[in-house]
Structure 1
Amino acid sequence: MQRAEYTARGPVPQDVIECVDRETPTPKAGEVLIEMLAAPINPSDVLTLTGQYGLLPPLPAIGGNEGIGRVAALGDGVTSVSVGQRVLLPVGAGTWASHLVAQAAGLIPLPPVGDPLQLAMMTVNPPTASLLLSEFIALAPGDWVIQNAANSGVGEYVIQLAKRRGFRTVNVVRRQDAIAPLQALGGDVVLVDGPDLATRVAEATGNAKIRLGFDCVGGSATDRIARSLAIGGTVVNYGALSGEACKIAPGSFVFRDVTLRGFWLAFWFRNATVEQQRTLFTDIATLVATGALAASVQETFPLSRIKDAVAAAASGGRRGKILLVP
């Protein structure tokens, strides 16, 4: 078997990770051996390699936090899954590996249909998008939400899920060539970020009272989202693509009563019941398997090219996800 390992962290993520050969493990009682079919490289994975993420596994470690696999062998006593069945790889299990062993009881089976590349991306970004839309403000059909980095994986899912729920979206991007793809995806308004963002948002939405905004850029971009909200609005930050802390002007807090909150999917996993997790993943899996929910894919790489794959995922200007395949 192959797996992508790292024994140190550093500023250049592709420099610290290597594809190594290991003996394929044998599942014990209650375990299964899973063959990886696809695993994405998320921004959180890159930040884990550089040491900047909020939760860092002990070293040495195997990269990857999500993916899809096929059950290859069963340990004694396993009856909940069968050989050949597709399952979600356990969250945070080190999914950048051709094979891994997991407890059968914790596996989430997947439909036998659907693009494995799309199913491989359903553990992190789609739940994040879904929960951003449901956990902070009670939205009604016709309500608006605004987000920056709207052409990211989460951003694309927000557009699709919002449309299914009857919400309208203002989508902020950092380059002109990202506008058309998001309009085609269903984004109601797509704007390039800038100092006058709030004015242009008001013009494009007919001065709509936008009560909820999502920020994953940080820095001054956070305040531009805040200034685009109605009085009493909420900004939810879930990332820092700029590498800077969130900046919101005192006027947004004092005179406009804007609230800044944070969201980290790991916290939700810690507090959610198994049934809540299964319900969320079942709903998402159904949408992904039928093609009703999808994210753009730029390129796939074999595990043997892990350095190239990580470099591609860490680069700017991408137009889709980078995924690993066997």
Structure 2
Amino acid sequence: MRVDNQYIVFNEFGTPEDVLRVEQRPVTPPGQGEVLVRMIARPINPSDLIPIRGAYSHRISLPCIPGYEGVGIVEDVGMDVAPELIGKRVLPLRGEGTWQQFVKASASWAVVIPDDVTDDQAAQLYINPVTAWLICRNILSLRPGAVLVVNASGSALGRILAQLCAFLGIRLIAVTRNDHHTKELLKLGAESVINTGETPLKQAVMELTGGLGADAAVDMIGGSPGTELACCVRTDGMFVTVGLLSDVPLDWAEIRRSTNASATMFHLRQWNQTVSAQVWQDTFRELISLIQAKKLALQPPGPRFELQKASAAVRAAEASGRNLGKYFLM
């Protein structure tokens, strides 16, 4: 019996609610080494929407199915894949876009989800948690007691970094533009919070570090806020940029003039290109163990939309910001 796969696709770059389309095609069996996954839940992330608008048009082929994250149930397996995977909940990552009913992915990269991790938690386990974990453990390699300063700390990534810093014994200085997230960040593990709407950033960092500066900094904003953040790092420290929320590049010339700290960019995509399947699985296993131990909490679920209503879901998610929790396509 023929089974159709309903999916969301964009055939041109533009505003998501204008260019997203609902289409369908027959489901085809998984190939050798693949799993066929019936999707349960997919979060709507800013990283899902940026490619639709054309920011990465140089490396995206059209038509394209969006969606980097999500969780589902293995319905079928291809040759050389253990049949015991059928019926398991997995993250079908690094394969097709997740904004469709059925996704095919390499079995070696599919992450099996334990029963005590919810669908909402599992669906969010990739982009922000892995980025935060790699920055803390691999890129910065900070020891307990080290001082890390992070801007845009009210973001999903910022809140995860606060929790990981608490777990790893890193002293976090969280930077925000207002006091909306101050209590939450302190509760999550930040040692202090700087509201740049009231206090000059560098002055505050120097006061909190006894004039030494931070051991490291993570920038998500770019532009002048990111450039200013880099200047808060001590001479032999490290500055990492992971995003451009301001859509304005950093002033690298000013950073070189103002600090001798090491500066680098981190892109999860580049790590994906070099990591082994074993390290990939181990990384998720560590994050899952933190969720199970209640050391790491992800965004609470917000409104849920049916897959075919993706355009309306995106419009609602962008209008509400983070006020109503994480939006999901079900």
With the length of structure 1 as denominator, give the TM-score of the two structures: 0.90
Runs of 4+ in 1 over 6 A off after TM superposition: none
Whether 2:47 is the aligned partner of 1:44: answer: yes
- Aligned residue in 1 for 2:244: 240
**Secondary structure at 2:143 match in 1:** coil
Residue 269 of structure 1 and its aligned partner are, at CA, apart by 1.2
- 1:169 paired residue among 156, 167, 172: 172
Q: What is residue 38 of structure 2 aligned with on the other side?
A: 35
Instruction: Give, in whole Å, the separation in 2 of the partners of 1:150 and 1:225.
Output: 13
Which of 3, 7, 11 does residue 3 from structure 1 map onto?
Answer: 7
Distance between the aligned counterparts of 1:253 and 1:28, measured in 2? 50
The aligned runs of 1:51-70 (5 Å cut-off) are 51-53=54-56, 56-70=59-73
Corresponding residue for residue 297 of structure 2: 294
Q: Distance in 2 between matches of 1:23 and 1:316?
A: 35
Write out aligned runs for 1:1-326 (5 A): 1-10=5-14, 12-28=15-31, 30-53=33-56, 56-75=59-78, 78-79=81-82, 81-194=84-197, 196-207=200-211, 209-247=213-251, 250=254, 252-297=255-300, 298-315=302-319, 317-319=321-323, 322-326=326-330
Distance 1:279 1:30, change over 3 A: closer
Structure 1 residue 192: deviation in Å? 2.1
The structure whose RCO (Cα within 8 Å, separation 6+) is larger is 1
Q: Does the 8 Å contact 1:236/1:262 carry over to 2?
A: yes
Secondary structure at the aligned position of 1:176 is classed as coil
Change (3 A) 1:285 1:162: same
8 Å Cα contact 2:12/2:62 also seen in 1: yes
d(CA) in 2 for partners of 1:54, 1:218? 21
1:149-183 Cα deviation digits (max 9, x unpaired) = 11222111111111111101111122321222222
Question: Take 1:137 and 1:184, find their aligned partners in 2: how far apart are those partners?
Answer: 23
Aligned letter for 1:167?
A: I
Which runs of no fewer than 5 residues in structure 1 stay unpaired? none
**In percent, how many aligned pairs have the same letter?**
30
Moved more, 116-125 or 69-78: 69-78
- Post-superposition shift, 1:217? 0.6
Q: Using a 3 Å threshold, how does the CA distance of structure 1 residues 247 and 312 change in structure 2: closer, same or farther?
A: farther
Q: CA deviation at 1:28?
A: 4.7
CA contact (8 A) 2:95 2:104 kept: no
SS at match of 1:231: strand
Looking at structure 1, the residues matched to 178 and 320 of structure 2 have their Cα atoms a distance apart, in angstroms, of 11
Residue segments in structure 2 that go unaligned for 5+ positions in a row: none
Amino acid at match of 2:179: Q
Sort the Cα spacing of 1:304 and 1:225 in 2 relative to 1 into closer, same or farther, 3 A. same
Q: Secondary structure at the match of 2:175?
A: strand
Figure out how many residues of one structure are paired with residues of the other and give that number. 324
Helix, strand or coil at the partner of 2:239: strand
Letter in 2 for 1:7: N
CA distance in 2, matches of 1:102, 1:92: 5
List per-residue Cα deviations over 1:158-212 (Å, max 9, x = no partner).
1111111110111112232122222222222122235711112233454454121
- For each residue in 1:231-268, what CA deviation from the matched residue of structure 2 results, as whole angstroms up to 9, or x when unmatched? 23322111101011112563x52353133210001111
Alignment CA distance shift 1:102-1:257 (3 Å): closer
Q: Which amino acid aligns with 1:39?
A: R
TM-score after normalising by structure 2:
0.89
Q: Given that residues 129 and 157 in structure 2 are in contact (C-alpha distance below 8 angstroms), is that contact kept between their aligned partners in structure 1? A: yes
